[in-house]
């Protein structure tokens, strides 16, 4: 197996990335955040079955697989 080594010649200065600029008022940003949270909750709700206990019981692992 070959290993690659990074050359130190011409190494760029390391610096912390700049935080993204906020666009809009705090109220608008809260609204965007709430909308993203609601969309995530909806996606999770649609992905999961309504009866997780029955699903887990039906798929219970037995043995040493």
pLDDT in tens, the chain (65 residues): 566 666 655 555 667 777 777 678 889 999 999 999 999 998 888 777 677 777 777 777 777 65
What domain range is 52 assigned to? Answer: 26-58
Note the Cα 50 to chain centre separation in Å. Answer: 23
Q: Which two tokens stand for residue 17?
A: 């990335």
Q: For residue 27, which of 38, 35, 39 has the smallest C-alpha distance?
A: 35
pLDDT of residue 37: 95
Radius of gyration of the chain (CA): 24
Q: Is 54 within 8 Å of 48 (Cβ atoms)?
A: no
Q: Is 41 among the domain residues?
A: yes
* Structural domain total, the chain: 1
Q: Please check whether residue 18 lies inside any domain of the structure.
A: no
Are the C-beta atoms of residues 44 and 38 closer than 8 Å to each other? Answer: no
Answer whether residue 20 is part of any domain. Answer: no
Return the residue matching tokens 């050359």. 7
């Amino acid at each position: 197996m070959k290993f690659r080594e990074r050359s130190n010649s011409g190494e760029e200065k390391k610096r912390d990335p700049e935080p993204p600029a906020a666009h809009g008022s705090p109220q608008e940003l809260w609204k965007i955040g709430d909308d993203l949270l609601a969309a995530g909750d909806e996606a999770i709700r649609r992905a999961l079955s309504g009866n997780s206990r029955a699903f887990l019981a039906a798929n219970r692992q037995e043995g040493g697989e």
